[in-house]
Each structure stands twice: as structure tokens, then as C-alpha cells.
Structure 1
Amino acid sequence: MSLDGKVAIVTGAGRGLGLAYARQLAERGAAVVVNDVDEQATADAVAAIRAAGGRAVAVVAPVGPTETAQALVATAVESFGRLDILVTNAGVLRDTVLWKMTDEDFDTVIGVHLRGTFTTVREAVRHMRQAGEGGRIICIGSPTGQRGTFGQTNYAAAKAGIVGMVRTWALELKRAGITVNAVVPVAATAMTATVPYFAAAVRAEAAGEPMPAFFRHDLGFGTSDDVAGLVAFLGSDSAAEVTGQVIGVGGDRIQIWTHPEVALTAHHEGGWSYDALVTAWPTEFAGALRSVGERFPELPEEFRDTAS
């Protein structure tokens, strides 16, 4: 099913994953509002979409402020007459360990990822509800928001918060026919290019060569285009019944993340006192504790030199 006649906004679409999303949506027939803070990258993205026969306009502005959200929605409606799909992809990184993270490091990442998602979705939903034709909201999450990553307090908080908002919005917007989902991409980007573990895969992509099967299949690590198909699907009428989900995608793999579930339930008559917990913890609770952080399989020997 094509996206002919649909209109989409993609934030952070000047390059990388965001550009892949915008191009895929345009290839499927949607008109696209391309947003980024980099004026040249935004112009280049719009030009590339138009050169391929698509329709696109630019909005150069940082997400976060309500004014930007208003400008994005207004541009979609003024340029193409409607708004059907929003992809909130814009983001920044300010990585450092907790004890070195400044207020500015924290606030900048939260402002773009979390507040930017909130303000943009709020403005889009106001228009969609008034138009009465439903809509598709696709928010970009991260494995970091699901499991945590060393040195990314701010980013983990923002991405986990986005997933919490997605689940809430799916409940609030169901009657309006607006679906809300989170996509957790795993792909070669500027961020993963700095991780030695992925060096062989990143190098292959840069050379225009196929990524080794270990990365694409076992790790679910691929290119930006591998993620874009899911984003386009979630924006289509075919995904009308899919909402409130967190879906991981990368390489040859797709995953449906579980919602947080209780791992163990135990009762103690009179309540759980300190002494009761000291006694029971090793036998009743310790085995149910959850792991944190991403755990990757051992890198095959053939790729170890590039990861050193």
C-alpha cells in the first residue's frame, strides 16, 4: 500500500537515519517536511528527494521550542494541505559519566530528545484531532533507553521517557484513530562509527560493500535504509491496528520489545521488614534480578583486528 496523498514531517532529517526515513516516505508517495538545524544539509535533503521525483520542503530550526513545532505543522498544512505522519527523530549527544555531566549536558539532550518529541507530537496531534482523519506518530527510541549505556545518563533518560510517552499517547489517542509507536533502530551512524566492536560493519558500509552476516543477522546491525522500511510501514494504512508498541529493527532483524513486566511477586505476612528481607533475599529474590546494559556476543576472530 502506497503513501500517495499522505503528508509527513521528519525531524532531524538532514542526514543519517532521519534522511533515510524522509527519502523512504517520499519514495512511497508522501510529501515530506524535512527538518534539521543544518541549513545546507536540509537543503541537500530536499533537493535529493525532489530529484528522485518526490515532494519536499524545508524547515530549518531546532526542535524543542513550541514555536518550532508550530512552524513544522503550519508548513505541512500550508505547503501540502494536510498532515498525516510525524516522525520525531531529531537528537543530539553529550556523552560523559554521571559525575562529570554538567547541567548543560543534561538539559541540552533532554531538551532536544524529550521536550522536542513532546512539543512536536503535541502540535501534530492537535491538528490531527481537529482534522478528524486519524494519523501516525512514530517516535525514535534507542537500545540505550531500554537497557542503559555507560556514559549516557541524559540520553538514556530521554529515550526511556519517549517510550513512556508513546505508551501513554497510544491510550489517549486511540479514539481519534491516531497510532503512536516507538522505533528502536540499530544501524551504522555517526555514533556507532566510533564503537570498535562495529568497525568491520561500518567499514564495509563506507566502502559500499555488504555488511558481514554476523552483524546483519546475529546483531541486527545494518544500514539506515534497513530501518526506513519499518518507519514507512508504521506510517501507512496497513499499520492502522499497530499502536503503543516498541519495535526494534536493524540489518536482517526485527524485534518487538516487551512492556515492563513484574519479574517476581512474593508475600510475607505482616509485610517485608528489614530482617525478613535480609533472610529471604538470597533465596527468594536474587535469582529474579534483571541485567542492565547491552550484552553483545563475542566478536568472531575474523573481525577482531578491526575492533582493536
Structure 2
Amino acid sequence: MDLTGKVAVVTGSGRGLGLAYARALAAAGAHVVVNDVDQQAVGAAVESVAAAGGKAVGVTAAVGTTAAADELVSAAVEHFGRLDVLVTNAGILRDKVLWKMTDDDFDDVIRVHLRGTFSCARAAAVRMREQGEGGRIILIGSPAGQRGNFGQTNYAAAKAGIAAMARTWALELARAKITVNAVIPVAATEMTKTIPAFGPAIEEAERTGAPLPDWIRKQEGLGTVEDVTGLVTFLASDASAAVTGQAIGLGGDRLALWSHPQEKAVDFRDGGWSADEIAAAWSEGVGARPETFGIPAPQPPTGN
């Protein structure tokens, strides 16, 4: 995939998935603005991206404010003359069950993930529309936002909102030839190491350099951070011009298209529905096959 001449901003790219995205875009020929709250991480990321083959500049800023978003877009224009691609990866975790989650726990995560995605996408959309040549906005979601996850009220709500924003902005920006998609990554990170079914296999793969077992890469769709980068590079390219408004998952060997929420079952009753009538009809009507919720627990293969 050739991204020569394109300029990308990747938020939260000082380490982990964000750094992998930035390096992959650079390796494909793009110039990249990297970002993190940690100045030392930004400096290291600039060097890493340059080593991957592209030019890079860094912006140390906490995503979540209009000022930070404007600074990121301005850096792209000042150093490289334009902006073609935005990847909104910045995020934090403040995991707690509902009854223990504080206002600050909730607000901090929403500010970085949801408001940060909004403010950065708005600034990018303004610039891309001014350029008049289209663009690519790539929002980073999560399985938690698609299905919910225990202890992640704030994070799941933010990621669900990000998927909804992708669908909305795909409508609003279509005439400007700006595509908007949500990527749903699954990768071996410090967080996934804490999952008992994954932890030992991830640590063993890191120790030996061997790939993760097949059941993890295929059945669970979990791989390295680099495994996710092909999707981001594709969505940043001209080859994805017809792809917009989608939530697309990638992890390990598994590429997936997520469905949008839609009516699954419908019943009608002349004159409408009372509470008693709903109760009487529920189990054999629209409620006969209720939806599942929550990220399914990993299922390691059983021994023979």
C-alpha cells in the first residue's frame, strides 16, 4: 500500500497500538504527527517512526480539548503542508464496577476517548474540507464498546459513542469525500496480559519470539499490535475510498465486519401494547431470542 505524499496525525502514538499505527503509516510512505502526554515517549516515537521510513514530528499534548486538537492539525500543516489522515487512538483506563466508579473516573475517560475523538475529528474535518481533496478519519473503538465489558462503564460508553460518531460523520462528510470508519482492534497489550487464559501464552510468545497459538490468533482474534496495522494502513489509503461508516475488527488472523444495531424481531398489536400484553407475549414474541451481552470469555482448547 502506497501512502507517499499523505500526511497523518495519530493521537496517543507514544507507545503500544498507536505507535504501531504510526510506524505502519510511515513505512507506507506517509509523513506522521505523533502525539502523547509524555514528552519522552513522543521523542522516542518520532525516532521510531523515522526509522520505519517516514518523516515525523511530535506534539506533546493531552487529547480532549479543542486547543490540543487544533495544535495537532496545525503541526501537520506547518511541517508537511496538509492533512490527509487522522487516527484517533489516544485513551486511558479507569476501570471500576458501577458502584465504585467516581465522577472523576467517568469524566476522565469520557474526556480523552469521546471528547478527544470528537474534537480531533472536528479539527481534521475542517482542514480536509478546506483542502477539498477528501480524507480519511479512522476512529479506534473496542470490543467493549460493541458488547459491553465488566468494570468498564466509562470506557465501553465512550467506545460505543465512537462507533456511533463514525456512522454519523460518514453521512455528514460523504459529499466532501472524507471517509470515516471505526477500527475494533484486539491485540496483546499490558491489559490483555492480565486475562488468565491469555497471559501465559502472551508472555511465552514475547520470551521466545514464537507466534501466539492458533486458537488465540484465529478463534479469539488476538495477535500482536503489528497485526492490526494493516487495517489502519488500508483505511488510510486510496484503496478504501468506497469504505465508510463501518466498524471493522482485526486481531491476529481474524478480520471481521461488525453489524450495526438494528431491529432483530418485531411484533404488532392493533391498538398498541399495554404492560400486561407485553409481559404475556414477550417470551414467545420479540423476546424469544434475547441478545447476548459482554465480551465472551476466552475458550482455550480442551485437552484430548
Instruction: Tell me the TM-score range normalised by the shorter chain.
Output: over 0.9
2:42 is equivalent to residue 55 of structure 1: no
Gaps of 5+ in 2: none
**Corresponding letter in the other structure for 1:54:** G
SS in 2 for 1:287: coil
Gaps of 5+ in 1: 303-308
- Aligned residue for 1:267? 268
Contact conserved, 2:24 with 2:52, CA < 8 A, in 1?
A: no
Work out the CA distance in 1 between the residues paired with 2:177 and 2:46.
30
Change (3 A) 1:282 1:51: closer
Work out the CA distance in 2 between the residues paired with 1:110 and 1:279.
40
**Corresponding letter in the other structure for 1:159:** K
Contact conserved, 2:197 with 2:298, CA < 8 A, in 1?
A: no
Change (3 A) 1:205 1:59: farther
- Aligned residue for 1:64? 64
Aligned-residue offset at 1:286 = 2.7
Contact conserved, 1:205 with 1:223, CA < 8 A, in 2?
A: no
**Corresponding letter in the other structure for 1:292:** F
**Corresponding letter in the other structure for 1:259:** H
Work out the CA distance in 2 between the residues paired with 1:251 and 1:298.
16
SS in 2 for 1:249: strand
How big is each residue's C-alpha offset from its partner over 1:258-289, in whole Å with a ceiling of 9 and x where there is no partner? 11110111011111112211211122133231
**Corresponding letter in the other structure for 1:235:** A
Work out the CA distance in 2 between the residues paired with 1:51 and 1:288.
52
Aligned-residue offset at 1:162 = 0.4
Contact conserved, 1:13 with 1:19, CA < 8 A, in 2?
A: yes
Aligned-residue offset at 1:301 = 4.2
Structure-to-structure mapping, 1:16-165, within 5 angstroms: 16-165=16-165
2:232 is equivalent to residue 231 of structure 1: yes
Work out the CA distance in 1 between the residues paired with 2:55 and 2:206.
28
How big is each residue's C-alpha offset from its partner over 1:108-137, in whole Å with a ceiling of 9 and x where there is no partner? 000000000000000000000011010000
Aligned-residue offset at 1:296 = 3.5
Work out the CA distance in 2 between the residues paired with 1:299 and 1:265.
37
Aligned-residue offset at 1:92 = 0.2
**Corresponding letter in the other structure for 1:140:** I
Work out the CA distance in 1 between the residues paired with 2:133 and 2:287.
50
Q: What is the RMSD of the two structures over their aligned residues, measured on CA atoms?
A: 1.1
Change (3 A) 1:52 1:279: closer
- Aligned residue for 1:306? none
TM-score (normalised: structure 2): 0.97
- Aligned residue for 1:285? 286
Work out the CA distance in 2 between the residues paired with 1:194 and 1:161.
26
**Corresponding letter in the other structure for 2:279:** V
Work out the CA distance in 2 between the residues paired with 1:98 and 1:221.
27
SS in 1 for 2:181: strand
Aligned-residue offset at 1:297 = 5.2
SS in 1 for 2:292: coil
User: Once the two structures are aligned, what percentage of the paired residues are identical?
Assistant: 61
Aligned-residue offset at 1:64 = 0.3
SS in 2 for 1:166: helix
Work out the CA distance in 1 between the residues paired with 2:155 and 2:105.
10
Contact conserved, 1:36 with 1:60, CA < 8 A, in 2?
A: yes
Aligned-residue offset at 1:300 = 2.2
